[in-house]
Amino acid sequence: MTASAGAKPTAPAGLSRHAEAFLEMLAAERGAARNTLAAYQADLEDFAGFAAARGTPLHGADSALLRAWLAGLAAQGLAARTQARRLSAIRQFHQFLLREGIRPDDPSELLEAPRLPQSLPKALREEEVAALITAAAALPGKRGPVAAAVVEMLYCSGLRVSELVSLPAAALRPGAPLVVVRGKGGRERLVPVSERARDLALAARPEENGKASRFLFPSRGASGHVTRQSLGLILKEVALAAGLDPGRVSPHVLRHSFASHLLQRGAGLRSLQMLLGHADIGTTQIYTKVLEERLRALVAEHHPLASDPRRR
């Protein structure tokens, strides 16, 4: 439920009218949810208290005061993600002040956000992906071929979910093992598509008025293709049928599984970068951390000296 549906934020006495106007803008123009508004309000209150203790109103802070506040958050031991979220709220507030002409500058513009720890992709095991494919094909009616095609194309091609839902049906041609995909930033790349996935997807396409639909996974919605949310729900259904935790299965997880399994089987980072459509090789290098963790766990579990407590 969004705040625009009747949840007008109320700024406490400690917040200025500018903060109240900012919160109202979030509710009215951006449709911010209640929890989001509450989080922004709490972050503004925190900074307002810090600034007031130093004789400065909330809307009058300079970059030095903002840096001192950030340093204080770090000293409190707050997680980097919490620090980054609070800084984001304060940045948006100052951008609002600048747009409204309340301030001539944005003191938060040059502040550096806390460095967030790289999160390791959560990949499924190969046998779990195989179970998904089997379970998908066994779904009743036309859902089976569609679900199986979705699972195989995400896993065999490493496609982003946005790339898959917008893929035109004409992109799949008989006998063509590669498909041209337009990814982030309009960059095109070639991705592999298994013969089975192509046949399943083409066979599952419905026809409207005797004509095949434009998109590979069509919908009657405004976009003409299924939404990312709909595709996610298909995977949740398949996960349940395969006896897996639905929380562990998503389009993004299958993309991660594609990359992790290729790396485990000897694929090079440059090849992986091209297949995933990463503009920067640094983004692809996170998968080496996945491999390192798995190799470390493998040694810890199976090496004959691993059970010796003197060697830990």
- Locus of tokens 């460095």: 115
Residue with token string 């790349």? 189
Q: Which of 18, 205, 256, 278 is catalytic?
A: 278
Catalytic residue among 59, 86, 198, 255: 255
Q: What are phi and psi of 188, to 5 degrees?
A: -100, 150
- The residue annotated as part of the active site, out of 143, 189, 196, 252, is 252
* Annotation says 125 is catalytic: no
Closest CA to 19 of 89, 88, 83: 89
Helix (H) or strand (E) holding 208: strand 207-208
Of 94, 155, 205, 287, the active-site residue reads: 287
Q: Is 225 a catalytic residue?
A: no
Which is the catalytic residue, given 160, 205, 225, 256?
Answer: 160
Q: CA-CA distances (angstroms) from residue 40 to 50, 77, 91, 233, 272? A: 16, 20, 11, 30, 39
Q: Give the number of other CB atoms < 10 A from CB of residue 24.
A: 16
Measured CA to CA, the distance from residue 306 to residue 312 in angstroms comes to 7
**Annotated catalytic, 255?**
yes
Contact 129, 251 (CB under 8 A): no
| DSSP bridge partners of 180 | 190
Contact in structure between 233 and 147 (CB atoms under 8 Å):
no
First to last CA, the chain: 51
**Residue 46 contacts residue 87 (beta carbons within 8 Å):** no
Catalytic residue (choose from 122, 184, 248, 303): 184
Q: How far apart are CA 70 and CA 86, in angstroms?
A: 9
Contact call for residues 185 and 279 (beta carbons, < 8 A): yes
160 is catalytic: yes
CA dist 105 to 54, 61, 90, Å? Answer: 20, 11, 14
- Annotated catalytic, 278? yes
CA 232 – CA 161 distance, rounded (Å): 9
Residues with a known catalytic role: 160, 184, 252, 255, 278, 287
